[in-house]
Structure 1
Amino acid sequence: MSAQRLLRKIHYWLSPALLISLFVIAITGSLLALKKDVDFLQPPTRDGIAPGLPDRSLASLVTSVNALPAHAGVTWKDIDRIDVRPKDGIAKVILKSRHEVQVDLTSGAAVDTGYRTSDLLETIHDFSFMGDWAKYVLSFGSGIALIFMGATGVYLFALPMLVRRRKRIDKERRRPSA
């Protein structure tokens, strides 16, 4: 089997699996690009009373979250991360349940809550929702396969042009000169 035929078969059979992966990555990536603009994907960042980082402890942020009836009983085990934004005067307490509570850094009051669909989209985007193995096998594998598909695609696209060029040059060499 020639190299051209082998590359064409690999390219042909790898395409459907790669297309599924690329559609997932493209759709979720497009939505993630809009996450700051679409409230459904990520709650908009509210402004606090005053910008700057006041003297507020992390424990007081958890107390502010617990003051909300929907999040009563939240402990440190329930918190995924805290995003402090001194410029906005706000701290985003992001729970493992993908809910976000925005706490004013000056008053300590919870000013907004919402569900972060963008975090779910990120786990789908890099396939980590299936486990860490999927992030490395599927996401990394898709990248490698895409590089391979691009290289073989360029080769298979350019090959007929190179063959025609070679035939034209050979024909011109065989033509008797006058």
Structure 2
Amino acid sequence: MRAVVLNRKIHRWAAIATALPVFVVVFSGAVLLMKKEVAWIQPATKKGVGHELALSFDEILRIAMTVKAVGIYGWADVDRLDVRPGKGLVKVRARNHWEIQVDMKTGEILQVAVRRSDLIESIHDGSFFHEQVKFWVLFPTAIVLVGVWATGVYLFFFPYVKKRG
């Protein structure tokens, strides 16, 4: 079989085999590019009045527990605390993808909103589907894409090289 025909077959079938994983990664990546611009994806960071943490973590937890809609009943419901001294706030990120922004000096709740960027990131890296997807689907897809790139470059330049030779 001629090299050009073999390259076309490899290129065509590899592109088909990687189409769905590539679509998921590219589409979710495109959405993530907009996370700072679109509040639906990630709530905008508000600004507090102080720049030093005047609240204890237990006080922050108690404040977060007052927002019943978020469903925080203890530390087990909190995914992480994101302390932003420059902005004067603490983001309490719940495991259920809600975010509460608390002024780090006064304890005032500045904003309560759903944070979808973490969910979209888990789709992007494959962990949403299963922890092993990144190793058994996305990594092989990346390797195959290198082959698609190489065969595509070969197929692009082959006519020019053939003309000269």
Q: When the two structures are superposed, what TM-score results if normalisation uses the length of structure 1? A: 0.85
Partner of 2:49 in structure 1?
Answer: 49
Alignment of 1:153-164 (within 5 A): 153-164=152-163
The answer to which structure has the higher helix fraction is 1
Establish whether residue 118 from structure 1 lines up as the match of residue 117 from structure 2: yes
- Give me the whole-angstrom Cα distance separating, in 1, the residues matched to 2:40 and 2:134: 25
1:173 maps to which residue?
none
**1:59 to 2:62 alignment:** no
Give percent identity, aligned residues only. Answer: 37
Consecutive unaligned residues of structure 1, counting only runs of 5 or more, are 167-178
Query: Compared with structure 1, are the counterparts of its residues 15 and 72 closer, same or farther at alpha carbon in structure 2 (3 Å cutoff)?
Result: closer
- Deviation string 1:3-48 (CA, Å, 9 cap, x unpaired) is 4333321211111232322222222111111111111111111111
Give secondary structure in 1 for the equivalent of 2:128. helix
Return the offset for 1:61.
1.3
Structure 2 CA distance for partners of 1:153 and 1:73, relative to 1, 3 Å? closer
Other structure's SS at 2:132 match: helix
**Unaligned stretches of 5+ residues in structure 2:** none
Say which is worse superposed, 4-13 or 75-84, in terms of deviation. 4-13
Question: Is 1:32 equivalent to 2:41 in the alignment?
Answer: no
Are the equivalent residues in 1 in contact too, given 2:70–2:98 (CA < 8 A)?
no
Q: Equivalents in 2 of 1:75, 1:145: separation in Å? A: 45
Partner of 1:145: 144
C-alpha distance in 2, partners of 1:161/1:64? 68
Larger gyration radius, structure 1 or structure 2: 1
Question: Does the 8 Å CA contact 2:70/2:94 hold for their aligned counterparts?
Answer: no
Higher relative contact order (CA 8 A, sep 6+): 2
- Whether 1:106 aligns to 2:101 is no
Superposed, 1:83-102 pairs within 5 Å as: 83-102=82-101
CA distance, structure 2, for counterparts of residue 154 and residue 23 of structure 1 = 21
Report the counterpart of residue 131 of structure 2 in structure 1: 132
CA distance, structure 1, for counterparts of residue 17 and residue 114 of structure 2: 32
Provide the C-alpha distance between the structure 1 equivalents of 2:69 and 2:89, rounded to a whole number of angstroms: 20
In 2: Cα distance, 1:150 partner to 1:124 partner: 24
Tell me, yes or no, if structure 1 residue 68 matches structure 2 residue 72.
no
Kindly report structure 1 stretches of 4+ aligned residues shifted beyond 4 Å: none
| Pair 1:73–1:95, CA change in 2 (3 A) | closer
RMSD: 1.6
Describe the superposition over 1:59-96 as per-residue Cα deviations: whole angstroms up to 9, x where unpaired.
22111100112235521111111111100101111111
